[in-house]
Amino acid sequence: MPRIAYVNGSYVPHHEASVHIEDRGFQFADGIYEVVACINGKMTDERGHLDRLERSLDELGIPMPVTRRSLQFIIREMVRRNRLKNANVYIQVTRGVAKRDFPFPVEVPPSIVLTARNFQFDNNKNVEKGVTAMTVADIRWKRRDIKTTMLLAQVLAKQEAMDGGAYDAWMVDDEGFVTEASSSNAWIVTKDGKLVTRNATTSILRGVTRTAFEKICSGLQMKIEERAFTPAEAYEAQEAFNTSAVALVVPVIMLDGKKIGTGEPGPVAKKLYAEYRAYAEGQRGEHVEWVANLDEDEA
Ligand code: PDD
């Protein structure tokens, strides 16, 4: 059974799927993306991801390529046609194909591409054993709240971390505070048990998974402190972890060669992972909406 991709209205074999060389996604990284997890056949936080997809497009002045309803249908078709039960579905939208020129082209339809790949949520090695991370300079642009395909800074960050012997990068801004991980939100649990993650401004991508934890944690009477923190505070933390739609909650057991807590996945990360899986199964009520809700100073 061939792997199937969706490109501008057609389901095509993955190995034949392509976009035009003048696509602005290729020429300018002029596009956005989303990743939706399908866990046990259920779309997880789909509403939030589509909310954020629409907002990213809006911020860049790119129209929705298809209606939200159609997109929901295509996401399900991708899972069905690829015969997947557990998957990450990638949705990419660009400003479309036009003669190479910087200003927006007039009356050009956006391009849309979907791919789906199998992902093992159960017994996931990174979730069970945790990963190591290394801090690197955050060299990205100032609109990190938009989920753009312009990912070169994150590619370099992750490679720098891997070349330094770590699995992932935690990016640090010019003021010395952690922004987020290369493709997930970064969290710490302080010695006195407080959950801390960076406040959502234009400096980070407000994760949909992170937003789900605002709901999940409030149901558990666990308070989240939304504020910036330094690598030094993280070294002293009891636990650290990353959240994203790909692997949900991944414990970070070592940062810059220093053990975090016991150097093993901690109880808070494990608990939050289990809670998110229950939430994904629909056992914690409605899935969240996503709103940009930027802190006032940077909105
Ligand atoms: N990344 N921050 C960054 C920079 C990200 O790229 C991501 C997601 C997140 C977490 O967002 P969410 O919880 O909505 O997945 C935070 C996706 C998964 C990726 O690039 O593959």
User: Which is nearest to 103 in space by CA: 216, 27, 200?
Assistant: 27
**Active-site residue, from 99, 147, 223, 270:** 147
99 CA → ligand 1 middle, Å: 31
Question: Exposed, middle or buried, 17 (CB in 10 Å: 0-12/13-18/19+)?
Answer: middle
Q: What is the CA radius of gyration of the chain?
A: 19
According to DSSP, residue 266 is labeled: -
Residue 35 beta carbon below 6 angstroms from any ligand 1 atom: yes
Specify the ligand 1 atom closest to the Cα of 49: 14
Nearest residue (CA) to ligand 1, atom 5: 183
- Domains of the chain listed by start with CATH number: 4-118 (3.30.470.10), 125-298 (3.20.10.10)
Nearest residue (CA) to ligand 1, atom 17: 183
Residue 48 beta carbon below 6 angstroms from any ligand 1 atom: no
Least confident of 18-32, 230-244, 284-298: 284-298
Beta strand 248-255 with 131-137: parallel, antiparallel or unpaired?
parallel
CA separation for the pair 60, 57 (Å, rounded): 5
According to DSSP, residue 110 is labeled: P
* Residue 223 annotated in active site: no
Residue 168 beta carbon below 6 angstroms from any ligand 1 atom: no
Q: What is the pTM of this model?
A: 0.97
Residue-wise pLDDT tens digits, 15-36: 999 999 999 999 999 999 999 9
- Confidence band for 1, pLDDT divided at 50, 70 and 90: confident
